[in-house]
Amino acid sequence: MGTRGMTRSYGELVRAYRREAQRLRRSRRRRIDYYPSAEAWQAIEKVTAQGYPASAVIDALVTAGAEATGCRIAE
Q: Each residue of 10-67: pLDDT tens digit? A: 999 999 999 999 999 888 888 788 899 999 999 899 999 999 998 898 889 888 999 8
Residue 54 covered by a domain: yes
Q: Which residue has the higher pLDDT, 20 or 72?
A: 20
DSSP string, the chain: ---TTT---HHHHHHHHHHHHHHHHHHHS--------HHHHHHHHHHHTTT--HHHHHHHHHHHHHHHTT-----
Q: Which domain holds residue 39?
A: 10-68
Residue 19 CA to residue 53 CA, distance in Å, equals 26
What local confidence, expressed as pLDDT, does residue 32 receive? 84
Residue 4 covered by a domain: no
Residue 29 covered by a domain: yes
- Check pLDDT > 80 for residue 4: no
